[in-house]
Amino acid sequence: MSAVALRNLAARKLRTLLTSLAIVLGVMMVAGTYILTDTIDSSFERIFTQSNQGVDAVVKTKQAVETDDGTVPPFDASVLHRVERSPGVAVAAGVIADPQVSIIDSDGEPIGGMGAPSFGFSTGPERFDPLTYVEGGPPQADAEIVIDKATADAEGFELGDAIEVAGKAEASEYELAGIATLGEVDSFGGATLALLTLPEAQRITGKRGQFDQITIAADEQTTPEQLTASLSDSLPKTVQAETGEEDVQSQREDIGVFLGFLQTALLVFAGVALFVAAFLIFNTFSITVAQRTREFAMLRTLGAGRRQIIAAVVLEALVIGLLASVLGLAAGIGFSPAVGALFGGVGIDLPTSGTIIELRTVIVSLVIGTAIAVLSALLPALRATRVPPVQGLREGAVLETPRERGRRNVAGVVLSALGLAAMLLGLFGVLSPGELWLGIGAIAVFIGVALLSPRLVTPMASVIGRPLERLRGIPGRIARENAIRNPGRTAVTAAALMIGLALVSFVAIFASGLRSSIEGAIDKTIVGDLFIANSDGFSDIPVGVTDAVAEIDGVATVSPTRYTQNEVEGTEGGGYLTLVDPETAPDVLTLDWEQGSQEVLGELGASEAVIDEKWGTDNGFSVGDEFTARTVSGEELELTVSGTFTDTTDYIGDYAASDANAAAYGEERNATSVLVNLAAGSDAAAVRSEIEAAVGERFPTIETQDQQQLKDSIGEQLNTLLGVVYALLFLAVIVSLFGIVNTLALSIHERTRELGLLRAVGTSRSQVRRIVRYEAVITALIGAVLGLALGVVFAVVVSRPLADEGFVLSIPVPTLIALLALAVLAGVLAAIGPARRASRLDVLQALSYE
């Protein structure tokens, strides 16, 4: 008997471990997310604080428009004189601080991953210099440069080397005069730093006669607050003064927008994993509580109250939840750099020095992990104790009456329907915020389908199991029967996997639709032969590229486009638009006209715009109307609508206007892309290599692509993003695998005597393993089929609002088949442990097992 008890305990230990692992993983993601974003935030704060040492106040262009990156255009250098004349100013220096000054490596390619800025700074008075020179010193002449130590180390640059730098003017070479760090901060998270003299920094960034910032130290009698107050009175309205500390905070806030987005995104993935974990706990407790129904019934006949028994079960969940949360928190500390590395791996480098664990991280992690465990165990506990003691004492007491089953099915249908409705209402903006309702709807659908799935298990197991049975004989048959013995159990186990796979397949389907829509739009819109843009895929390139390309033989048309942000009066802020060159644009861009034609584009006046039809409808603008655009430089432009077009992929943005306004939009130096048409009869390949050689020499940040390459590189970017999403969803799938392992382990424990009998009558160990493995595969496939079906439904639903913008849904059949194969593999993997245990059972002990 003690052997039996010990075995029981061992089985319990395994179950406890598996159950808690699910929570550990979920909490790990929650904790890791907070730790990662807190660490990035504090790293940036240190960088900003260090950079602003000795700075009492800064003057910058006033932010006129909410932009995604928070950068502001430069202002006129004459402001410096007015600052210097202000009372309380001891020292003031004009500064260039530009995030698009690339250091070029020995292969002629700009250094740095995507997302990480490549800073170009100008030298100033020593008191403002935040740098520590590890070698050499600040640049003394226009031909000298200082770069950061991380970059110098990575590229093997040494003092005296010639360093090529590219900004908005043509690339130049400088002599490396110093290598520096920013105080204690050793990592900028992939960012590079180039320090030049002020005139040279102004020249290479295309900001002659301008500053990005004026850095000010107050005299001894003036506080920073008094200084900024007096500056604000004396400065033009387009600029603003902030104390050094305020400046650090506002820079942090700009980063904070991005970090907040990152945090939310990662927490969503953590939420998915926890949701799956909840299924697992619910299932585990359902099974073990069912196994203990008789024990509970006996306790109750002995006088234990219902509450006492519920409390006992909940206490168990509480302990598991709490322990798992603590472990998850600890694991989160390791997970945070792993996610950082994941982003780094796809080129998004973020600075992470140290590990910041806020109290909030600890509290949220512990509370969420414990609460999920307790809540998930509550229902099984309630259900088990509802069985009348006398009935519970009988063997094989059924916990669910037919009436309950009927009610559950109805609830499943209702919940699924309500969920879908919530998703649609959220998508079409009836309920807001849309993303929230989309999420709530999806959760409801998942729960609804999970409630319905016990009904689906038997027919699905028959369909899936039949070929197995045909091919694999009796082990396949027994596996299939085992899978449908407790449809509820198999259903919840499968539903956990369903969630992960539904999301994976949804993302795959949606991305595939997005990709084909983008490719379709490129085919239709970009009719130019060549497409020149920054090799990082999104930074600006110098507009000077246009003239350089125009000089090459065989080039017929060169047309720069500028994609930028503004605020249109009466609309939501931060809208995008494209500035085009009307003279050349019709040759390289074809818009999908609703009203108007290519001629309208060709004759676009400085005070005219052609608009996205949908944007116009949403905001009440149509042909002939006027709207007011406020630019990042704070200027206001009155534009008259002269045509409308459909823009499926938001390639143009809300509207297109003439680049005669480039300066007003703060974009005179920049181009987002330059489109090129070749002269009839010229050799495309030859022209391309000419552009790459001659123009690429002068502007090393550019990359020239033909239409196919452009499509490929967009596809690649999409795939990279998909990779990150898959990696994060993978954790949810792992959690659901634990669910399969757990269910199998519990079922095997329950079927010990059957296994003993099977072995006694001649079932070989490998046949026993097969029985377990096939059951796992059947369960996994049920989850996968349900998941893929839901993924398709979600993709169809979510793409509804995009359909009238021309979004074409395309189902990536090979990917879905691969997912099914993956599910089979997952089932096989999950079965390894339980199958081994089942096959190693001692026949005699198993037979005498009570």
For binding to another protein (CB under 8 A), which residues are involved? 473-474, 477-478, 481-482, 485, 753-754, 757-765, 767, 843-844, 847
C-alpha 180/C-alpha 196 separation (Å) is: 13
Alpha helices in 237-358 (DSSP H): 244-291, 293-301, 306-345
Peptide bond into 834 cis (omega under 30): no
Q: Based on CB atoms, which residue is closest to another protein, 5 or 680?
A: 5
Half-sphere exposure in the Cβ direction for 606 (13 Å, CA): 8
Q: Based on CB atoms, which residue is closest to another protein, 4 or 760?
A: 760
Shortest Cβ 467–another protein spacing (Å): 17
Cβ–Cβ under 8 Å, residues 343 and 351: no
Helix (H, G, I), strand (E, B) or coil at 78: coil
Q: Based on CB atoms, which residue is closest to another protein, 213 or 779?
A: 779
Q: Based on CB atoms, which residue is closest to another protein, 588 or 758?
A: 758
Half-sphere exposure in the Cβ direction for 698 (13 Å, CA): 15
Q: Based on CB atoms, which residue is closest to another protein, 484 or 780?
A: 484
Shortest Cβ 483–another protein spacing (Å): 10
What 8-state DSSP symbol labels residue 824?
A: H
Residue with tokens 């001629």: 599
Q: Based on CB atoms, which residue is closest to another protein, 482 or 701?
A: 482
Q: Based on CB atoms, which residue is closest to another protein, 601 or 758?
A: 758
Length, in residues, of the chain? 850
Q: Based on CB atoms, which residue is closest to another protein, 599 or 842?
A: 842
Determine phi and psi for 546, rounding to 5 degrees. -55, -50
Determine phi and psi for 849, rounding to 5 degrees. -70, 130
How would you class 572 by CB atoms within 10 Å of its CB: exposed for 0-12, middle for 13-18, buried for 19 or more?
Answer: exposed
Cβ–Cβ under 8 Å, residues 179 and 218: no
Shortest Cβ 847–another protein spacing (Å): 7
Shortest Cβ 833–another protein spacing (Å): 20
Alpha helices in 66-140 (DSSP H): 79-85
With CA atoms as reference, report the closest residue to 145 among 188, 178, 103, 118. Answer: 178
Q: Based on CB atoms, which residue is closest to another protein, 383 or 485?
A: 485
Which are the contacts of 197, defined by CB distance < 8 A and separation ≥ 6?
Answer: 122, 123, 139, 140, 141, 142, 144
Q: Based on CB atoms, which residue is closest to another protein, 2 or 221?
A: 2
Q: What H or E segment, with its residue span, contains residue 377?
A: helix 359-386
> Mind spelling out the 3-state secondary structure of 43-67?
HHHHHHHHHCCCCCEEEEECCCCCC
Q: Based on CB atoms, which residue is closest to another protein, 232 or 458?
A: 458
Q: Based on CB atoms, which residue is closest to another protein, 300 or 751?
A: 751
Shortest Cβ 114–another protein spacing (Å): 56
Q: What H or E segment, with its residue span, contains residue 138?
A: none
Helix (H, G, I), strand (E, B) or coil at 518: helix
Helix (H, G, I), strand (E, B) or coil at 546: helix
Which are the contacts of 34, defined by CB distance < 8 A and separation ≥ 6?
Answer: 263, 332, 358, 360, 361, 364, 365
In our burial notation (b when 16+ CB lie closer than 10 A, e otherwise), range 463-480 reads ebbeebbeebeebbbbbb
Shortest Cβ 741–another protein spacing (Å): 21
Shortest Cβ 838–another protein spacing (Å): 14
Cβ–Cβ under 8 Å, residues 409 and 455: yes
Shortest Cβ 291–another protein spacing (Å): 16
Shortest Cβ 760–another protein spacing (Å): 5
Shortest Cβ 389–another protein spacing (Å): 24
Q: Based on CB atoms, which residue is closest to another protein, 436 or 844?
A: 844
C-alpha 199/C-alpha 205 separation (Å) is: 10
Cβ–Cβ under 8 Å, residues 99 and 251: no
Residue type, 157: F
Q: Based on CB atoms, which residue is closest to another protein, 278 or 841?
A: 841
Cβ–Cβ under 8 Å, residues 412 and 452: yes
CA 726 to chain centre: 10
Residue type, 153: D
Q: Based on CB atoms, which residue is closest to another protein, 346 or 843?
A: 843
Please state, as a whole number, how many other Cβ atoms lie within 10 Å of the Cβ of residue 279: 25
